[in-house]
């Protein structure tokens, strides 16, 4: 059952909800450092998004279990880093986030590219996949900066934080390249180049796939 499209109406509802949740998550990251109950609210929401979506989009037991475990790991790491911040706690957040995003990339890729017809749910799933790739690379960039401080330079001179990593990741994925954040480290440049290539190839491959499905459906 993995990757098989859901009934049209339910599929659209699930994928639209996921897309809105991802956008909301990306916009509300400052809550994770706001103090009080807000970090707990943020990380609970973050940990639930992909788990709930996986349960709705696939019946694969292994994928469901893997996403659930990685979601729980993200929650624990995030809460620990918010209330007992340390270098090791930050590292745990980056590593668990990378795994969590990778798992969701697999779920959405299977759903999107195993579809037999072009429906609204497939388009929404493909859009969510694009956003998940972007936020996943943000975690990789944060890990690189943790391993090799100074790998990224901000034109304003400010210390780069997670929200700026998310911003930089999407700018790179879409190949806009404003130039206000520059990768100067070897690994930072290599991964930024990889993300830019993936962003271009994803668009080309997805459009080719959707056009092919649409053409075959009209025969």
User: What is the tens place of the pLDDT at every residue in 178-202?
Assistant: 889 999 999 999 999 999 999 999 9
What proportion of the chain, given as a percentage, has pLDDT over 70? 94
Per-residue confidence (pLDDT) for residue 214, from 0 to 100: 63
Backbone angles phi and psi of 150, in degrees to 5: 90, 5
Domain count, the chain: 1
Between these two residues, 136 and 35, which has the higher pLDDT value? Answer: 136
Answer yes or no: is 3 within a domain. Answer: no
Answer yes or no: is 2 within a domain. Answer: no
Other C-beta atoms closer than 10 Å to the C-beta of 208 total 10
Measure the CA angle with vertex 80, ends 145 and 147; round to 5°: 15
Q: What number is the average pLDDT over the span 59-77?
A: 97
Per-residue confidence (pLDDT) for residue 2, from 0 to 100: 45
Beta strands in the chain (DSSP E): 152-154, 181-183
CATH number of the domain enclosing 25: 1.10.287.70
Domain span at residue 206 reads 8-217
Answer yes or no: is 203 within a domain. Answer: yes
Distance CA 55, CA 25 (A): 19
The alpha carbon of 12 is separated from its chain's Cα centroid by a whole number of angstroms, namely 20
Per-residue confidence (pLDDT) for residue 118, from 0 to 100: 74
Between these two residues, 117 and 154, which has the higher pLDDT value? Answer: 154
pTM of the model: 0.91
Answer yes or no: is 1 within a domain. Answer: no
């Amino acid at each position: 059952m993995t990757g098989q499209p859901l009934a049209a109406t339910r599929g659209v509802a699930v994928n639209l909800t996921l897309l809105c949740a991802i956008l909301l998550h990306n916009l509300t990251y400052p809550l994770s450092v706001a103090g009080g109950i807000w970090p707990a609210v943020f990380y609970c929401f973050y940990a639930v998004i992909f788990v709930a979506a996986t349960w709705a989009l696939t019946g694969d037991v292994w994928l469901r279990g893997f996403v659930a475990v990685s979601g729980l790991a993200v929650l624990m790491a995030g809460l620990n880093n918010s209330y007992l911040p340390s270098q090791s706690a930050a590292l745990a957040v980056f590593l668990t986030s990378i795994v969590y995003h990778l798992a969701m990339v697999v779920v959405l890729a299977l759903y999107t590219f195993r579809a037999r017809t072009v429906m609204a749910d497939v388009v929404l799933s493909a859009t969510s996949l694009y956003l998940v790739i972007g936020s996943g690379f943000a975690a990789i960039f944060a890990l690189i900066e943790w391993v090799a401080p100074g790998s990224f330079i901000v034109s304003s001179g400010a210390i780069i934080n997670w929200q700026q990593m998310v911003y930089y990741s999407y700018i790179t994925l879409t190949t806009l390249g404003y130039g206000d954040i520059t990768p100067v480290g070897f690994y930072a440049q290599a991964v930024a180049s990889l993300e830019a290539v993936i962003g271009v190839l994803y668009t080309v491959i997805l459009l080719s796939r959707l056009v092919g499905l649409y053409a075959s459906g009209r025969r």
